[in-house]
Structure 1
Amino acid sequence: MSEIYGINLDLNLLRVFAVVAEAGSVTEAASRLYLTQPAVSAALRRLTATIGAPLFVRSGRGVALTSRGERLRASLKPHLGALIEAALAPPAFDPKTCERTLRLGLSDTAEVWLLPPLLRALEREAPRMRVVAVPVQFRTVGAALAGGVDAAITVADDLPSNVCRKRLLKTGFTCLYDPRHARLRKLTEAQYFAHDHVIVSYNGDLRGFVEDLLGKTRRIRCSVASFSNLGALIDGTAMLATVPEIVADDIRAVRPHLRTKPLPFEVQPGYMDLLWPAATDDDEACKFAREKIVQIARPLSKG
């Protein structure tokens, strides 16, 4: 196959040849191709030189195919139309028969609220599509998208211009606790900082966004790398966890005895984005999946 690609043949010349052969006239072919007659004649000379044999002879006011030209037309005819159709026809996409495997980069919070309903939607509408979920966060999402991930759902800062972005949902933050052990009537800032805390730190340290926001240090009892086990860690203890509201809702769906309190200081809401490489913007399977993700996220957004 590499030898074929190496041949110095301009495939546009074959299109010119096919139109001249059909029209039987260089002048008529030039009109159909929106080219000048000299340009068509020059194209035929180049094709003849490449093939090494004459393709046309003069016939009255037009041209007729030589035997070599007839063989070329016969070989070319079934392929040229298919190539043009493949280039111009919109891609056919049927979710019922699509067998794509989608690679989704998910933050640990997105895996909880997005993946179960997305899989249910695919089971109903695209039963042959499969999902490979890989963990991402704001520091790693750029590399994941450059490395073959079809879409990512996470918090993200600046990204290259070849990454498309759609604001997916907005969520505030809340304080999650076990009321059987942490007695909180109205949570004050003093009470908040007097309690032990469990935090999520992607740096693997004892510092979270509250320390960065307020310049104050909490009493960190435990630091973990994801939100997935916060409910189990809070349950049965007096520790507090400051989490996105969407995470608190998911945890309380499993552990309804846990409670939340508004934070005693102002925290700007967080935003989760849907990100995808610009190269897959017109990929029908990816577009289908992105539409499902947007539908799932819409009722979850806090404004």
Structure 2
Amino acid sequence: MHSIYEKDLDLNLLRVFVVVAEAGSVTEAASRLYLTQPAVSAALRRLTSTVGAPLFVRAGRGLALTARGQRLFASARPHLQALVEAAVSPGTFDPRTSERTVRLGLSDANETWLLPPLLRVLTEEAPRMKLIVVPVQFRTIAEALASSAVDLAVTVADELPADTRRLVLYTGSFVCLFDPRHARLGKSLTMERYLAHEHVIVSYNADLRGIVEDMLGVQRRVRVSVPTFHSIGALVEGSALLATIPSAVAGEITSLRPNLRTLPLPSPLALGGAPMELLWRTTVEDDEAIRFIRELVVRVAKTVLRAE
């Protein structure tokens, strides 16, 4: 079967045909369409030629549909009405009844503190909506957005395409996470004690370099490198290992593992955190479901971070 795009049919001709059929008169149809009578007559001739059969016959001073015209009118009218409504009517979105699935990109640093409260609020306000969480980080976020692998994301990002919208959720700091039962650091962490201990680091490059090595050029005694923050608490607890991690991640870990503590980094290692941003493309700017999730993320982030 040929594609509809291969048919030489101007769909505006159907609009003229439907109005003429409703009006029963070329003159009245021309008035309703804000066209001249010759233009309406020419449109009908073109459509008749394309269909290959007469669509109207004279009936007194007006026009009446032929059997072929009646079939076309019955089929074309509802579809044209639906097209007009789709074009001019705003989309309706009700979070209480929506069953949309939204793909949310999250860096591992944000999954633990953001996702649980986000799901709780989503359950209350949009009980039928679903989230697909996709792991992203600063090296992969541009491609994830460009390919629509995610609808929006929360992560650190460098340069992104011009059609990317960016909203800073917070700019966090880094702290040292440790187990005071095994790592004796005192009340104030010195550079000497920091470098004397072994460290667990998070590396997205699968190497022994973390943020301290990359940003400050200081080499630590790295015992183990892991690809995400998910196992950091388990690795630090019960050991003398230190972990230099974002304060938001540390807060979540210590809430679950009360034996662990944090200290500010030694002053030579003071790390200003990169902005954690909410990211989305302009192509979904007017998508009500995605906008709803964006607003939910902002609200939850403000509530959680205010409580820390």
TM-score, normalising length from structure 2? 0.87
Residue in structure 2 matching 1:256, options 248, 258, 264 = 258
The residue type paired with residue 270 of structure 1 is A
Q: Within the alignment, does 1:282 sit opposite 2:286 as a pair?
A: yes
* Aligned-partner Cα distance in 2 for 1:130–1:232: 30
**Counterpart residue number, 2:230:** 228
Q: Give the Å deviation of 1:18.
A: 1.8
**Counterpart residue number, 2:219:** 217
Deviation string 1:108-152 (CA, Å, 9 cap, x unpaired) is 111101211122122222222222222111111222221532222
* Aligned-partner Cα distance in 2 for 1:251–1:178: 12
Q: Give the Å deviation of 1:25.
A: 4.3
* Aligned-partner Cα distance in 2 for 1:176–1:81: 63
* Aligned-partner Cα distance in 1 for 2:219–2:281: 39
Conserved? CA contact 2:21–2:65, under 8 Å: no
* Aligned-partner Cα distance in 1 for 2:2–2:247: 56
Greater shift in the superposed pair: 9-18 or 187-196? 187-196
Across the aligned residues of Structure 1 and Structure 2, the Cα RMSD in angstroms comes to: 2.5
* Aligned-partner Cα distance in 2 for 1:288–1:95: 8
The residue type paired with residue 204 of structure 1 is A
Q: Give the Å deviation of 1:74.
A: 3.2
Conserved? CA contact 2:105–2:152, under 8 Å: yes
Conserved? CA contact 1:56–1:63, under 8 Å: no
Number of matched residues?
A: 302
The residue type paired with residue 217 of structure 2 is G
Conserved? CA contact 1:168–1:274, under 8 Å: yes
* Aligned-partner Cα distance in 1 for 2:261–2:178: 6
| Superposed counterparts of 1:90-129, under 5 Å | 90-129=90-129
**Counterpart residue number, 1:64:** 63
* Aligned-partner Cα distance in 2 for 1:187–1:34: 81
Structure 1 gaps of 5+ residues are: none
Greater shift in the superposed pair: 283-292 or 37-46? 37-46
Structure 2 gaps of 5+ residues are: none
* Aligned-partner Cα distance in 1 for 2:185–2:65: 97
| Superposed counterparts of 1:13-28, under 5 Å | 13-28=13-28
TM-score, normalising length from structure 1? 0.88
Deviation string 1:46-81 (CA, Å, 9 cap, x unpaired) is 212211233345678x75134143443233233322
Conserved? CA contact 1:170–1:301, under 8 Å: no
Conserved? CA contact 1:169–1:300, under 8 Å: no
The residue type paired with residue 296 of structure 1 is V
**Counterpart residue number, 2:131:** 131
| Superposed counterparts of 1:26-41, under 5 Å | 26-41=26-41
* Aligned-partner Cα distance in 2 for 1:225–1:287: 31
Q: Give the Å deviation of 1:204.
A: 0.9
**Counterpart residue number, 1:43:** 43
Deviation string 1:170-226 (CA, Å, 9 cap, x unpaired) is 211111222222223222233322322211110011111211222221111221111
Deviation string 1:73-95 (CA, Å, 9 cap, x unpaired) is 23323332222112222222222
* Aligned-partner Cα distance in 1 for 2:206–2:29: 70
Q: Give the Å deviation of 1:44.
A: 2.5
**Counterpart residue number, 2:174:** 173
Conserved? CA contact 1:103–1:132, under 8 Å: yes
* Aligned-partner Cα distance in 2 for 1:201–1:130: 30
Taking only the aligned residue pairs, the percentage that are identical comes to: 59
Change (3 A) 1:75 1:235: closer
Question: SS of the counterpart of 2:272?
Answer: coil
